[in-house]
């Protein structure tokens, strides 16, 4: 390979390998393999490189507009208007991180509301160091005398501590109880993304490469949740999986998670469309319920709400998943063991052959 072609090839290969968009990365990896065999000239490599950069920049700005409309404000926007978000008109007083010098300040920006509380934008600061400030999300849960809100808040905080260090989940920073106002506060990292339901409604067509990426990232998180934290999520759905502009995927809402060995509830929760029907049949909750829910999430991402598979065959037909474990025994079947393997190496999605035998919707 001539020097000019070799230089163009290296630049093109490096940009393809570091591309954030899974669809563009897989598409241009084929050209990288052809160029490695010497099938492309330096001029052709330059044209492919320019096309990659143009499409990558165009899709990036499209995702940024989508996140700006449906998600929270970006870090740059907050930094430029810090006095507008954290002004003196906020009624909630800051709360401290135990007896340390760190305290959390509320903003006037609401990030969302749910059945158990509301989430607002916050700021972590340190006394005596005005430059020390980090953005965070603060979940505010009110409870009454004898109510379950306090118990659920403590349970969610404990579950978030058990998955600390895994980047597939939002990281908790502090949990504080205010008995005077009967309020629990959970401070966690600020993740500027949108739930998968909004991604599907906005982009409509989700590529197979992005489906593989979402499945791979969620499976890595579920592997950590099941094998290391010893928990079952139980409420995995399109609303509890978020993705940001850089295709970083995070699993949220661990309030309904329960222990694998000593579950406090044997029933499924959340949306019925994502709930494993085997829970009623075997009358107990297992880690396989989260795998079923992930399969339904991928089905909804690909087909919307009209997918050509019934619930009884969805696990075998939603995706062709090849999970290689530490054991190379061909008789190994992770579905029968009702758990996911420890090592997830390869995930392949075949949209053309997954539902051939299913009746039309």
The CATH number given to whatever domain includes residue 177 is 1.10.510.10
Domain boundary among 173, 189, 205: 189
In this prediction, residue 225 carries a pLDDT of 93
Residue range 345-358: mean pLDDT, rounded: 35
Cα Rg of the chain (Å, integer)? 23
Identify whether 349 is part of a domain: no
Whether the pLDDT of residue 318 is over 80: the answer is: no
In this prediction, residue 359 carries a pLDDT of 33
C-alpha separations of 64 from 54, 67, 82, 193, 356 in Å: 16, 5, 20, 10, 37
Q: Is the domain of 209 the same as that of 331? A: yes
Q: Is the domain of 203 the same as that of 144? A: no
Position of tokens 């661990």?
A: 254
* 3-state DSSP assignment of residue 152: helix
In this prediction, residue 146 carries a pLDDT of 53
Identify whether 45 is part of a domain: yes
Reading the block at residue 97, the tokens are 């991180």
Residue numbers of the domain that contains 120: 84-189
Whether the pLDDT of residue 187 is over 50: the answer is: yes
Kindly report the average pLDDT of the chain as a whole number: 78
Whole-number percent of the chain with pLDDT over 90:
30
Taking only the tens place, the pLDDT of each residue in 130-155 is: 778 889 999 888 887 556 777 888 88
Highest-pLDDT range among 98-102, 190-194, 317-321 = 190-194
Identify whether 346 is part of a domain: no
In this prediction, residue 23 carries a pLDDT of 92
Identify whether 342 is part of a domain: no
Identify whether 272 is part of a domain: yes
In this prediction, residue 89 carries a pLDDT of 60
Identify whether 353 is part of a domain: no
Q: Is the domain of 148 the same as that of 23? A: no
CB-neighbour burial class of residue 138 (10 A; exposed 0-12, middle 13-18, buried 19+): buried
Q: Is the domain of 156 the same as that of 202? A: no
pTM listed for this prediction? 0.80
Q: Any alpha helices (H) in 132-237, and if so which ranges?
A: 149-162, 196-203, 208-223
Identify whether 75 is part of a domain: no
Q: Is the domain of 96 the same as that of 158? A: yes
Domain boundary among 41, 70, 99: 70
Helices and strands per DSSP (H, E), number in the chain: 12, 11
Q: Is the domain of 184 the same as that of 206? A: no
Whether the pLDDT of residue 255 is over 60: the answer is: yes
Reading the block at residue 279, the tokens are 């829970």
Write the DSSP assignment of 229-272 as a string of letters. Answer: S-EE----SGGGEEEETT--EEE---TT-EESSS-S--S--S-G
Q: Decide: 212 and 246 in contact? Cβ < 8 Å.
A: no
Task: Classify residue 360 by its DSSP letter.
Answer: P
In this prediction, residue 6 carries a pLDDT of 85
Taking only the tens place, the pLDDT of each residue in 162-176 is: 999 899 999 998 888
Position of tokens 């940009």?
A: 15
Structural domains counted in the chain = 3
Whether the pLDDT of residue 254 is over 80: the answer is: yes
Q: Is the domain of 219 the same as that of 182? A: no
Backbone angles phi, psi at 61, to 5 degrees: -70, -30
More confident residue, 304 or 201: 201
* 3-state DSSP assignment of residue 7: helix
C-alpha separations of 107 from 61, 92, 104, 121, 126 in Å: 27, 9, 10, 6, 16
Reading the block at residue 309, the tokens are 């598979």
Q: Is the domain of 182 the same as that of 241? A: no
Q: Smallest Cα–Cα separation from 191: which of 59, 19, 71, 85?
A: 71
CA–CA separation, 72 and 246 (whole Å): 15
CA–CA separation, 316 and 295 (whole Å): 9
Q: Is the domain of 208 the same as that of 101? A: no
Identify whether 357 is part of a domain: no
Residue 244's beta-bridge partner residues?
193
In this prediction, residue 194 carries a pLDDT of 92
Q: Decide: 133 and 127 in contact? Cβ < 8 Å.
A: no
Q: Is the domain of 197 the same as that of 95? A: no
Q: Is the domain of 199 the same as that of 302? A: yes
Domain boundary among 11, 43, 70: 70
Q: Is the domain of 136 the same as that of 98? A: yes
More confident residue, 113 or 224: 224
Taking only the tens place, the pLDDT of each residue in 53-73 is: 999 999 999 999 999 988 888
Whether the pLDDT of residue 273 is over 90: the answer is: no
Q: Smallest Cα–Cα separation from 290: which of 270, 301, 300, 275?
A: 275
CA–CA separation, 214 and 232 (whole Å): 19
Backbone angles phi, psi at 112, to 5 degrees: 160, 165
């Amino acid at each position: 390979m001539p020097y000019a072609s070799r230089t163009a090839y290296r630049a093109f290969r490096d940009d393809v390998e570091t591309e954030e968009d899974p669809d563009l990365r897989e598409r241009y990896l084929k050209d990288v393999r052809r160029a490695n065999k010497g099938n492309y000239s330096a001029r052709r490599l330059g044209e492919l490189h320019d096309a990659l950069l143009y499409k990558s920049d165009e899709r990036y700005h499209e995702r940024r507009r989508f996140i700006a409309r449906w998600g929270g404000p970006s870090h740059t926007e907050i930094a430029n208007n810090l006095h507008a978000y954290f002004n003196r008109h906020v009624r909630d007083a800051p709360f401290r991180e135990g007896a340390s010098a760190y305290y959390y300040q509320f903003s006037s920006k609401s990030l969302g509301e749910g059945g158990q509380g509301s989430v607002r934008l916050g700021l972590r600061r340190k006394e005596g160091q005005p430059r020390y400030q980090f953005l965070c999300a603060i979940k505010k849960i009110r409870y009454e005398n004898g109510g379950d809100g306090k118990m659920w808040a403590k349970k969610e905080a404990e579950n978030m501590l058990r998955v600390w260090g895994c980047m597939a989940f939002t990281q908790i920073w502090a949990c504080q109880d205010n008995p005077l106002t009967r309020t629990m506060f959970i401070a966690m990292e600020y993740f500027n993304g949108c739930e998968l339901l909004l991604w599907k409604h906005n982009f409509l067509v989700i590529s197979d490469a992005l489906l593989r990426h979402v499945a791979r990232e969620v499976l890595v998180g579920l592997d950590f949740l099941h094998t290391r934290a010893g928990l079952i999520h139980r409420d995995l759905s399109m609303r509890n999986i978020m993705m940001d502009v850089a295709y970083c995927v995070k699993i949220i809402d661990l309030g309904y998670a329960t222990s694998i060995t000593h579950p406090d509830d044997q029933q499924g929760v959340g949306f019925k469309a994502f709930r494993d029907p085997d829970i009623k049949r075997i009358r107990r909750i297992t880690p396989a319920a989260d795998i079923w829910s992930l399969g339904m999430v991928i089905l909804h991402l690909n087909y919307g709400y009209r997918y050509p598979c019934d619930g009884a065959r969805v696990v075998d037909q939603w995706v062709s998943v090849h999970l290689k474990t530490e054991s190379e025994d061909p008789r190994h079947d992770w579905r029968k063991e009702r758990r996911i393997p420890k090592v997830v190496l390869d995930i392949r999605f075949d949209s053309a052959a997954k539902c051939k035998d299913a009746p039309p919707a």
